[in-house]
Amino acid sequence: MTEHDSPPDASSTSSSSTALTVVLADDAVLLREGVRSLLVEEGIDVLASVGDGQALLDEVARHQPRLAIVDVRMPPTHTNEGLLAALRIKREHPAVGVLMLSQYVTREYASDLLGAETPGIGYLLKDRITEIDSFLGAVHDVAGGGTVIDPAVVRALLRSPEQQKAVSRLTPREVEVLETMAEGLSNRGIAERLFLSLSTVEKAISAVFDKLDLTGDEQTSRRVQAVLRYLDEQ
């Protein structure tokens, strides 16, 4: 097993404009290969599987995948190499979605990544991989340009004093809607999760926008702004 493994038919799979193509980066070989196998079984083309940030950057530049799945901590220091590589990907290849995987809830990492303000951003705890349907849903959502944040990360961020202040004008129901919005759910998905009518969800989202002083006509942009508002360090 090498630290850099590419399927023999990577060049042919990358040529498809419709296929979900992925570059995967994690220094833990067993976890990396487990995720790779899961994705391949789902019919996703894993164009490269690597173990460090520089190899990730090289493979993303080479293949231009729809999605990069990246471990936060990789060699040589095992601190934030994956995050730095992810931010560089979003800066140099904004069309490539980035799904970060982390062992722990780290507020700064989530805030930095979401601050990239480009489509296709995700931040999940590694434990979420075992929830296969949820994980694969996040993969497809981020590859499609959505924003997905792990529920545990959202809850931790909302508990901090700074973020409690930022959302203090929201009702408990509006905070609940904002939390599910941060997970990347559509209005209909939020309604199904919270057992609410679609019109109730739409009214709650409108109230969130108003109370957080988010103006503009583009709802997608304001959804991201709403998430950033309580993730932003104050």
Element (H, E) at 210: helix 198-211
Q: Using CA atoms, how far apart are residues 53 and 100, in angstroms rounded to an integer?
A: 12
pLDDT at 142: 92
**Segment 145-182, tens digit of pLDDT:** 888 888 777 666 555 555 556 567 888 898 888 878 77
pLDDT at 63: 96
**Segment 5-22, tens digit of pLDDT:** 444 444 433 334 468 999
Q: Do the beta carbons of residue 73 and residue 100 sit within 8 Å?
A: no
Q: Tell me the mean pLDDT in the region 21-34.
A: 94
Of the chain, the end-to-end C-alpha distance in Å amounts to 45
List strands edge to edge, sheet with 45-50. 4-5, 45-50, 21-25, 67-71, 97-102, 121-125, 147-149
CATH code that applies to domain 160-231? 1.10.10.10
Q: What's the whole-number average pLDDT of the chain?
A: 79
pLDDT at 214: 66
pLDDT at 225: 63
pLDDT for 1 beyond 50: no
Q: Tell me the mean pLDDT in the region 220-231.
A: 59
pLDDT for 75 beyond 90: no
Q: Using CA atoms, how far apart are residues 234 and 224, in angstroms rounded to an integer?
A: 18
Q: Tell me the mean pLDDT in the region 205-224.
A: 67
Q: Tell me the mean pLDDT in the region 21-44.
A: 94
pLDDT for 35 beyond 70: yes
Q: Residues near 221 by Cβ (< 8 Å), separated by ≥ 6? A: none
pLDDT for 60 beyond 90: yes
Q: For the purposes of burial, counting CB atoms within 10 Å of the CB of 98, is it exposed (0-12), middle (13-18) or buried (19 or more)?
A: buried
pLDDT for 110 beyond 90: no
pLDDT for 85 beyond 50: yes
pLDDT band at 108 (very low <50, low <70, confident <90, very high): low
Q: Using CA atoms, how far apart are residues 99 and 24, in angstroms rounded to an integer?
A: 10
Q: Tell me the mean pLDDT in the region 64-77.
A: 91
**Where are the domains positioned within the chain?**
4-150, 160-231
Q: Do the beta carbons of residue 116 and residue 87 sit within 8 Å?
A: yes
Q: Which CATH class is domain 4-150?
A: alpha beta
Q: Residues near 141 by Cβ (< 8 Å), separated by ≥ 6? A: 122, 148, 184
Residue with tokens 């590694």: 126
Q: For the purposes of burial, counting CB atoms within 10 Å of the CB of 53, is it exposed (0-12), middle (13-18) or buried (19 or more)?
A: buried
Q: Tell me the mean pLDDT in the region 127-147.
A: 90
Least confident of 28-37, 39-48, 73-82: 73-82
- pLDDT cut 70: percent of the chain above it: 71
Q: Which residue has the higher pLDDT, 229 or 174?
A: 174
